[in-house]
């Protein structure tokens, strides 16, 4: 299970599901042996340089799914830009045959899919919790709060 990231002035647990399709939806991950492992190796290098953690990476024929943990200073757009630009540059350097196969010299499509991933609760639980703030039933609220934020100690 993913752990909270503790920094000097904040504690966070931000998870993003990022999906990046290959340019022209080409089956580059199926057609070129070892490219999936290269993507994973590059992501480990990105992890060392940026405050990003790749929790999971899944490679399909023409797209890649990333489960990424980040800190609040990176927006989802910045995360996508970092991942897409560095992986593309490195793949072209390490596997030049891939660049020849993708006519325009771009590895990823311009678009991507990104979504937040819940850890402690789902959207409905959070919505109900927020809606019930300030209600008189203290025990119910206290129980909900302990369930939502169990194990988090902020000092």
139 and 109 co-located in one domain: no
pLDDT at 148: 47
Per the structure, the complete domain to which residue 55 belongs is given by 5-117
21 and 77 co-located in one domain: yes
99: enclosing H helix or E strand: helix 96-101
25 and 95 co-located in one domain: yes
pLDDT at 155: 41
pTM above 0.75, yes or no: yes
23 and 79 co-located in one domain: yes
Averaged pLDDT for residues 35-41 = 94
pLDDT of 127 higher than 80: no
28 and 93 co-located in one domain: yes
For 7, 49, 67, 70, 150, the CA distances from 64, given in Å and listed in that order, are 30, 21, 10, 18, 33
pLDDT of 10 higher than 50: yes
pLDDT in tens, 56-92: 999 888 999 999 999 999 999 999 999 999 999 999 9
Mention every residue, 6+ apart, whose C-beta is less than 8 A from residue 31.
101
Q: Is 137 exposed, middle or buried (0-12, 13-18, 19+ CB in 10 A)?
A: exposed
111 and 126 co-located in one domain: no
96 and 68 co-located in one domain: yes
pLDDT at 3: 87
Name the average pLDDT for the chain: 84
Closest CA to 88 of 65, 115, 107: 107
pLDDT at 131: 74
130 and 97 co-located in one domain: no
60 and 113 co-located in one domain: yes
24 and 85 co-located in one domain: yes
9 and 49 co-located in one domain: yes
pLDDT in tens, 86-111: 999 999 999 988 988 887 789 999 99
pLDDT at 126: 65
The count of structural domains within the chain is 2
Please state, in angstroms and rounded to a whole number, the distance separating the CA atoms of residues 134 and 116.
Answer: 27
Please state, in angstroms and rounded to a whole number, the distance separating the CA atoms of residues 38 and 49.
Answer: 17
């Amino acid at each position: 299970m993913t752990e909270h990231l503790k920094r000097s002035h904040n504690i966070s647990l931000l998870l993003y599901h990022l999906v990046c399709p290959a340019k022209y939806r080409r089956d580059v991950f199926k057609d070129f042996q070892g490219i999936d492992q290269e993507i994973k190796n590059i992501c480990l290098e990105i992890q060392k340089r940026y405050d990003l953690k790749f929790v999971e990476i899944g490679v399909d024929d023409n797209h890649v799914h990333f489960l990424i943990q980040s800190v609040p200073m990176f927006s989802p757009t910045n995360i996508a830009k970092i991942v897409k630009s560095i992986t593309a540059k490195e793949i072209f350097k390490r596997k030049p045959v891939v660049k020849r196969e993708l006519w325009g010299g771009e590895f990823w499509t311009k678009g991507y899919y990104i979504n937040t991933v819940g850890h402690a609760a789902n959207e409905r639980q959070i919505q109900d919790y927020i809606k019930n703030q300030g209600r008189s039933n203290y025990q119910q609220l206290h129980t909900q709060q302990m369930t939502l934020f169990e194990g988090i100690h902020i000092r």
